[in-house]
Chain A
Amino acid sequence: MDKLGEKIERKYLNLNCWLVKNLGYSPYKRCQHCRFKFRNCLFLQYQVISSILVVIFLATFFIVEGKITMLVVSMIFTLVIVYGYFFNRSTEKIVEANFSQAKAKEALAELTKNLKQQVVEQTKDITKKNKDLEKNNKELEIKNQLNQELLAMKSDFLRVVNHQLNTPISIMRGYFSMIKEGDYKPEKALPFVEAGLDRINQVVADFLDAYELEGERMRMKPERVDIATVIDKMVEEKKNLQYAKERKLTISAEKPDFEIPNVWCDIKRITDVISNLLDNAVFYTYKGGVVVFYELVGDYLKINVKDTGNGITEEDKKKLFQKFTRGTGASGMHPDGSGLGLYIVKKIIEGSGGEITFASDGAGKGATFSFTIPVYANQQVDKMRDVVTRENKIEIFN
């Protein structure tokens, strides 16, 4: 018998039966399938009852007849044995049927248990897959959103490029065709062509800057800068802007009650910042003026550019420093902006170790842009960061 069979036999050996357990008694096939207790054993009951009956029969016979004949004894015993044989056979079948039923029940119970476990396991897999799917879905959503943003940015970009580059080209083309047709002196067109070239150049430089800035801080070549002089110079320059003249704007720098310290930054870049903020202030202001004033905040000089212009709407506030964004109604007033100015300004200020903030009470109530810049305190040029930002246009090796 193989091991499994042995195990089953042992497993189904009737430990309820006193005879089987204690004496290893297993004379019938039935005993292997029986699960009754000893006293419930059908065959035992039959034996006990038939012995009692035999004794009673014999006793009755003796009392009635006065003697026991051999014939009667052998008849009774033959009957008991014959009935015993058939009884044994039939109970065997009953016990066997009971046993297989119990076995089937057990198997079914086990199967159910296994099935339950399998279901749990399978659902585990499915639950996990579900979660993964959800995650993927979210990722896809984000990607989709990003794509849409990129598409929007692309169309913004195309519009800006279209306008920014095509305008100077159309101006230059206009002058060129006039010269070609012979009724315009080339000398008179030269300043316009030069201005057009400068403008295209500036747009390209802006885009390249913005592209290079993507995700990183702008590299700076910091030095000690007399910021007050730089600002005074810019203020004078901006008074000549067409809009400033047309609208009779006042542009000034307020003298603070402290001495304006030198600051530590890249002079070329900081000039760009001040120029850009002043330009913005002028472009968005119809009447009144622009004033620059200073504050000292710890080791930083805070420079504020305050105007009495359009102000900033709640909606604009959110996207103020993003690429390609323009103030509400900006294209009507100042159609040439690339929408990159404040983005680059923010990068420059952050790259200089400062911070840029703005305040506005809302549309039509003016705006104040403020930035901080470290006060000069013997900072040394960091050799590691002293990287040339732009290569020379002509470089002869060796």
Chain B
Amino acid sequence: MVRTNVLQSKVGRIIFIEDEKALVDIYHDVFEKEGYDFMTTDNIQIGLTITEFEQPDAVLLDIIIPKPENTVAEQGYDYLKAVKENPKTKNVPIIVFTNLDTPQDHKKCREMGAAAYLFKRDCTPKEVTDAVAEVIKRDKEKKAKFSKPQEVV
């Protein structure tokens, strides 16, 4: 997959889809300090486009993202569905990062193909970066396993 070169870090390339500016600022600092490249948007369509072009190592996804006309909406689920339906992006690991914590939401995210579920309220930035690192590590191992036989051929 051809990708643009905005995100280049070897440590990890993250897209954060979130509408809360304060949270974006905190995690922008945290991730850049850890050596990640970081991109963010609060628009689902832009999110889908940059996910396709950048092919990030992981996407941190908020679920409740208000629509432009300011109605409360669970747009995160729309994004997750669209990403998993697009063959170009379906292998990008999506980490749901939300303040919803009902078993139903957990189940829904798992079934929709999310890679992990983080409950925003109780997670410290350190725990979030650790979880993201773990997801990226597992994802790379998985992709290495699948690509090796192809190299032999």
Interface positions of A (Cβ within 8 A of B): 201, 204, 388, 390-398
Contacts and interface: CB of A to CB of B under 8 A. Distances in A.
Contact of B122 (A388, A393, A398): A393
A391 B119 contact: yes
Contact of A397 (B101, B115, B119, B127): B115
Contacts of B121: 201, 204, 393
Contact of A396 (B103, B119, B122, B134): B134
Contacts of B118: 393-395
- Please report whether the interface of chain A is mostly helix, strand, loop or mixed according to DSSP: loop
Contact of A394 (B109, B127, B138): B127
Contact of A393 (B109, B114, B123): B123
B119 A388 contact: no
Given A393-B122, A394-B118, 7 more contacts: A391-B103, A393-B118, A395-B116, A396-B115, A396-B131, A396-B134, A398-B115
Interface in B100-134: 101-103, 106, 109-110, 114-119, 121-123, 127, 131, 134
B127 A395 contact: no
B135 interface: yes
Contacts, number: 43
Give the 10 A-B CB pairs with smallest separation, nearest first.
Answer: A393-B119, A393-B122, A396-B116, A395-B117, A391-B106, A394-B131, A397-B110, A394-B118, A391-B101, A393-B123
A349 B127 CA distance: 35
Nearest to A200: B121
A5 to B, nearest CB: 77
A388 B102 CA distance: 11
28 contacts: A388-B103, A390-B101, A391-B101, A391-B102, A391-B106, A392-B119, A393-B118, A393-B119, A393-B121, A393-B123, A393-B127, A394-B116, A394-B123, A394-B127, A394-B131, A395-B106, A395-B116, A395-B118, A396-B115, A396-B116, A396-B131, A396-B134, A396-B135, A396-B138, A397-B110, A397-B117, A398-B115, A398-B138
